[in-house]
């Protein structure tokens, strides 16, 4: 995909091959963001795993301490008291067969789907629609749960999903360009801590192979994985 002039100009303002410390990299991303809107800052980590092997698929959720800066629209598949609790918690779309019919009809105005376990047969019929968009509820990410109200509150409060793609990359939003540098760094460290915690026992060799950050419309800035440990705060 062709890049615009602002993107090209931004790439000339720094050394694209240099590996930076965390704080330096995030400051650089903020300064290079070319768009007039408040861009999202995204972290990309290449993990030393083979995602073709089930035991090396890295997937889960992480709570960003500073939030995402984005309003998350949530669809909840539930009935009865659970449905009422989901609505009270702020879910935008709540239902069962009726909601499934809307989704089958093309309604996809949500960023996340949550379901109670008893609704998974209903949700399962939507696999071809939700699966390719990464919206399929999954117990591993806390999106299949009996406590839908808690899940809605957590995801609206800054909890995000992550998973390796077919190349072993994990993409996670860290917040907005308008965030204070420390807030972005706090979110960055929360994600790295979570990825380290989720390291598969079968993964061999270097685990954090490449790390970079960028804004929605800006170029990627490389982070030196070897400089992460000395900068980590002591417990």
Pair (87, 109) in one structural domain: yes
User: What is the pLDDT at residue 232?
Assistant: 41
Pair (100, 151) in one structural domain: yes
Pair (182, 141) in one structural domain: no
Pair (207, 135) in one structural domain: no
Host domain of residue 227: 5-68+159-231
Banded model confidence at residue 34, pLDDT cuts 50, 70, 90: confident
Pair (85, 149) in one structural domain: yes
Report d(CA 107, CA 46) in Å as an integer: 33
Q: Which of 181, 137, 149, 158 is nearest to 70 (CA)?
A: 158
Pair (80, 152) in one structural domain: yes
Q: What is the pLDDT of residues 112-155, one digit of tens each?
A: 999 999 999 999 999 999 999 989 999 988 999 999 999 999 99
Residue 234 has pLDDT above 80, yes or no: no
Pair (33, 84) in one structural domain: no
Query: CATH number for the domain including 120?
Result: 3.40.50.790
Report d(CA 9, CA 197) in Å as an integer: 38
Q: Which of 39, 107, 44, 113 is nearest to 69 (CA)?
A: 39
Mean pLDDT, residues 69-96 taken together? 96
User: What is the pLDDT at residue 12?
Assistant: 72
Pair (85, 137) in one structural domain: yes
Banded model confidence at residue 230, pLDDT cuts 50, 70, 90: very low
Pair (98, 133) in one structural domain: yes
User: What is the pLDDT at residue 17?
Assistant: 83
Q: What is the pLDDT of residues 195-214, one digit of tens each?
A: 999 999 998 889 999 999 99
């Amino acid at each position: 995909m062709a890049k615009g002039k602002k993107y090209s100009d931004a790439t000339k303002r720094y050394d694209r091959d240099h590996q930076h410390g965390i704080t330096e990299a995030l400051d650089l991303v903020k300064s290079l963001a070319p768009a007039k809107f408040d861009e999202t800052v995204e972290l990309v980590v290449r993990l030393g795993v083979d995602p073709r092997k089930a035991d090396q698929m890295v997937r889960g959720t992480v709570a960003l301490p500073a939030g995402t800066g984005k309003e998350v629209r949530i669809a909840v598949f539930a009935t009865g008291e659970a449905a009422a609790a989901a609505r009270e918690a702020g879910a935008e779309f709540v239902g069962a067969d009726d909601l499934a019919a809307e989704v089958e009809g093309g309604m996809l105005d949500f960023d996340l789907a949550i379901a109670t376990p008893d609704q998974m047969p209903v949700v399962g019929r939507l696999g071809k629609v939700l699966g390719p968009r990464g919206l399929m509820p999954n117990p591993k990410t806390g999106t299949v749960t009996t406590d839908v109200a808690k899940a809605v509150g957590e995801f609206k409060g800054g909890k995000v999903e992550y998973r390796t793609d077919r190349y072993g990359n994990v993409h996670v939003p860290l917040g907005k360009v308008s965030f204070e540098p420390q807030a972005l760094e706090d979110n960055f460290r929360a994600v790295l801590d979570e990825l380290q915690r989720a390291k598969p026992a079968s993964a061999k060799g270097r685990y954090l192979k490449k790390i970079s950050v960028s804004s929605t419309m800006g170029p990627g800035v490389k982070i030196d994985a070897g400089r992460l440990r000395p900068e980590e705060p002591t417990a």
